[in-house]
A and B are shown apart, each in its own frame.
Chain A
Amino acid sequence: MHHVVIESWSRGASLLHARDARVKVIVLLAFLIALATTPRLTPAACACYAALAIAGILLGRLPLGPLLLRAAIVLPFSATFAAFSLIVGDAPRAAGLLVKSYLSAAAVLVLVGTTPLAKLLRGLESLGAPRLLTLVVQFLYRYLFVISEQAQHMRLAALCRGSGPRPLHFRAAAGAIAVLFARSYQRAEGIHQAMLARGFAGHTQLLSSTRIGLRDLLFLVAGLSLVLALRASLGVLWNP
């Protein structure tokens, strides 16, 4: 499972792991905005952005090959839009879409691969992300493990009753999804009761974020300078 692997990466130790989540989020946002607003992605520009992303992977001591492979998960989606550009005869735009989406996914993976989710969500919240949103993500992530485990058990149970190694038949799969949904609903009720039992009164208080240190500030300045310098050298917005 992707989230298990990325979760194990995020518990590593490196220069990037040690940085405050907020400064990493800001540098990532700057990178994404710079990449998205680069008007024409020349091979040289591509190489520069890719070099930044790879520098992030190496600084975070993340496995290069597996990360680059996982970043490809966005390609089927962006390829759909790239296909439209190709149809109207704009091949450079199609290529730009693919490269931009792929490098963006790689950069996001560098962030989530070097920041445990709890710290990331806390960082996002202190940067102004709505608490409701971060709570929903937190619960979703927490129970992904439980629900995927239940799904695995159900698949094994189906195999034990002779469904064979091939994928479940449509009806059985539909039934399994329905049961999974009902169980998830039931579990959500249980979780809510457990929250009430510990004094939950409608809003969750989280532990406050840690302080941003000098090294974090240095990383922020260096990261933003690099991204801005690169973007500035690639021309003004919308200028062909």
Chain B
Amino acid sequence: MEPLIEVRGLRFRYDDGTLALDGVDFQLFPGETVALFGRNGSGKTTFVHHLNGLLAGEGFVSVCGLRVERRNLLAIRRKIGLVFQDSDEQLFMPSVLEDVTFGPLNRGLDTTAAIETARHALRDVGLEALAGRAPYHLSAGEKKRVALAGILAMEPEILVLDEPTTFLDPPAQRDLAALLRRLPQAKLVVTHDARFARALARRAVFFEKGRIVADGPVGEIVERFQWVPGTTSGGEAGIQPAE
């Protein structure tokens, strides 16, 4: 089976000299959901920004059979949808409907088709009623779902979610996990939340100092790196409850 994403030997250094990626190899196959774990600054977000050409390092990156390079960028950005960690950065249009139509209009759809696509995407995330609202009047959970609708309206083959549970309360996290499980696209989920990752993915990779140091089932990765903030009934290491 051909991988949807193929990355070989990816290296990237920021202008200030920080080596953010130091030889990353990775593959994502159709239908797969993979969780990306790793400490803050380990290179996860830098890595996903290479997948749609927002950053360009040394090495080989291909998405849906297209090499990530300048002449393919528009086509690649239609195939891979990136949901940003901070929804405020993604929701820049004055109303929810206009924001969700931004991508379809860029794809060349006419206004009627773009609105239809946007309404469909808003229905998918359960927020069609908010189409006329201004993004700054939404809750964090609603903003995240609108951001996701904006990506779904691009009809991508791959979804990349950068820390999707940031700012979300537990019910909103639960709703988001249920929503993402219903979506058929292959997914890459950058997260610190082992429970959220377990709800979505079978496979996980672990980033450390700009390299993928482990790749395997989520449970094994979580256990190996003790990726649990709270204690569980299984007695895993973590933050102890207050006395």
Contacts and interface: CB of A to CB of B under 8 A. Distances in A.
Contacts of B7: none
Interface string B184-216: 000000000000000000000000000000000
Contact of A196 (B77, B81, B94): B77
23 contacts: A118-B94, A118-B98, A141-B94, A142-B92, A145-B136, A146-B136, A187-B88, A190-B84, A190-B86, A194-B92, A196-B77, A197-B77, A197-B81, A197-B84, A198-B103, A198-B150, A199-B103, A205-B105, A207-B97, A207-B105, A207-B111, A207-B115, A208-B111
A141 B92 CA distance: 10
A197 B83 CA distance: 9
Given A121-B94, A208-B111, A194 B89 contact: yes
B158 interface: no
Interface residues of B, number: 34
Given A191-B89, A195-B92, A199-B74, 20 more contacts: A116-B95, A142-B93, A145-B136, A190-B84, A190-B86, A190-B89, A193-B49, A193-B89, A194-B90, A194-B92, A196-B54, A197-B52, A197-B77, A198-B103, A198-B150, A199-B103, A199-B106, A207-B114, A207-B115, A208-B111
B46 interface: no
A206 B92 contact: no
Interface in B74-125: 74, 77-78, 81-82, 84, 86, 88-90, 92-95, 97-98, 101-103, 105-107, 111, 114-115
B134 interface: yes
Given A118-B94, A193-B54, A206-B98, A201 B106 contact: yes
Contacts of A200: 102, 106
Contact of B106 (A145, A198, A207): A198
Contact of A142 (B81, B115, B136): B136
Interface in A183-237: 187, 190-191, 193-201, 204-208
Interface of A: 7, 116-118, 121, 138-139, 141-143, 145-146, 187, 190-191, 193-201, 204-208
A138 B82 CA distance: 23
Contacts of A191: 89, 92
B136 A199 contact: no
Nearest to A208: B111
Contacts of A197: 52, 54, 77, 81-82, 84
A139 B92 CA distance: 7
Contacts of B77: 196-199
B35 interface: no
B141 interface: no
Contact of B154 (A142, A146, A198, A208): A198
A207 B54 contact: no
B93 to A, nearest CB: 8
Contacts of A7: 134
B95 A118 contact: yes
Given A198-B150, A199-B154, A117 B94 contact: yes
Given A7-B134, A142-B135, A194 B94 contact: no
Contacts of A146: 88, 136
B78 A199 contact: yes
B50 to A, nearest CB: 12
Q: Which 7 A-B pairs have the closest CB atoms?
A: A199-B106, A118-B94, A190-B89, A198-B103, A205-B105, A145-B136, A194-B90
A63 to B, nearest CB: 20
Contacts of A118: 93-95, 98, 134
Contacts of B135: 142
A149 to B, nearest CB: 9
Contacts of B134: 7, 116, 118
B151 interface: yes
A10 to B, nearest CB: 10
A146 B137 CA distance: 11
Contacts of B102: 195, 198, 200, 204
A142 to B, nearest CB: 6
A114 to B, nearest CB: 16
Nearest to B92: A191
Interface in B210-229: none
Contacts of A187: 88-89
Contacts of A198: 77, 81, 102-103, 106, 150-151, 154
